[in-house]
Chain A
Amino acid sequence: MEIIELIKQPWPWYIAGPLVGLTVPALLILGNKHFGISANLRHACAACIPANIPFFKYDWKKEIWNQFFVLGILLGGVIAFSLLTNPNPIQINEDLSKELATYGITSINGMLPEQIFSWESLLTLKGFLMMVVGGFMIGFGSRYAGGCTSGHAISGLSNLQVPSLIATICFFIGGLIMANIILPYILSL
């Protein structure tokens, strides 16, 4: 039983990072698939609302593996959450917890602050900006950039692609601007 107890603890980066990295050769060797998750959002458009847009006119059924993959990620979330739950409260940086407290975010558990990411707050300005506008930017930006963290930062950098390095740097600059400059205003709403 000890190993289960060990698995339930938060995994350190030097375990998780290599596992994420191994996804790249696993998908290649299993069937010549390139690790890139945001493409499934495009396949969803191609399958449901192609609307005669050239960008969505392709044989999405050939890409069905990606939908299986993300369904697996969802199931992995269910399994990890229900069977492998960390029994201890989540640890976060003290400065971050102090900063969040100034916005009234005091209930720190799980993966997301439930005071923001909930159905109740969806129709508040703060919730709308964070869940709806944020989601839109993820989808629009990743497709415009030709990939997301998996396609560019992991897969592209693994293949030493300069455009992926540029994209990764820009992901990071965008994140720095949001977290340090814009988000404080949104969280204060």
Chain B
Amino acid sequence: MTTNNNTDFETRSLDTMCVNESQLQHKWYHNIKYLVVGVLFGITFIKAEIISWYRIQEMFRFQSFHMYGVIGSAVIVGAISVFLIKKFNIKTIYGENIEFHDKTFNKGQIIGGLIFGLGWAITGACPGPIFAQIGTGATVMIVTLLFAILGTWVYGYLRNKLPH
């Protein structure tokens, strides 16, 4: 069952990035542009070895600057971009205002963050890189992906009982 108006405001405040505020309706093929961005992003993942288990191990052992350089320069470029979008009120290609949502603090960012970090270091993957790893022929990572989906589902199931 799906609802058009998500009235679970607590869910939204916990997870605003999931919510598409656009009221515009587009044909499905408009989504191809996101596929193209994804392809470029996936190629970058592989060629810069961001999805490499070895690079992640080096990062957490302070044996290489590579991942710090990638994440640090990504944040700087992202922050300058967001600043410019806000300052010059840049619109989307459809002329809509670009919206930003402030995140609110809750204990999940600490507890969930720690659990995520444990999983990140053990698999060498986060949710994006898993897809790129599967693309490189590491088909067994499909199992990791399925269990990541299961983990997400179990979180949704237990959500009311977990501290936030």
**Contact surface of A with B, Cβ cutoff 8 Å:** 7, 10-46, 49-66, 68-81, 84, 86, 90, 92-93, 95-96, 108, 110-113, 117-119, 122, 129-164, 166-180, 182-183, 186
Contacts and interface: CB of A to CB of B under 8 A. Distances in A.
Contact of A148 (B6, B16, B124, B127): B127
Nearest to A140: B151
Interface in B73-114: 73-79, 81-82, 84-85, 90, 92-94, 96-106, 108-114
B132 A77 contact: yes
Contacts of B146: 135
A183 B159 CA distance: 28
Contacts of B67: 13
A8 to B, nearest CB: 8
A147 B94 CA distance: 27
Main secondary structure of the interface of A (DSSP, over half): helix
A162 B102 CA distance: 9
Interface residues of B, number: 133
Interface of B: 1-4, 6, 8, 11, 14-18, 20-22, 28, 30-54, 56-61, 63-79, 81-82, 84-85, 90, 92-94, 96-106, 108-128, 130-141, 143-157, 159, 162
B150 A31 contact: no
Given A112-B53, A119-B139, 5 more contacts: A13-B68, A18-B77, A41-B151, A81-B46, A178-B118
B118 A141 contact: yes
A75 B42 contact: yes
Contacts of A56: 153, 156
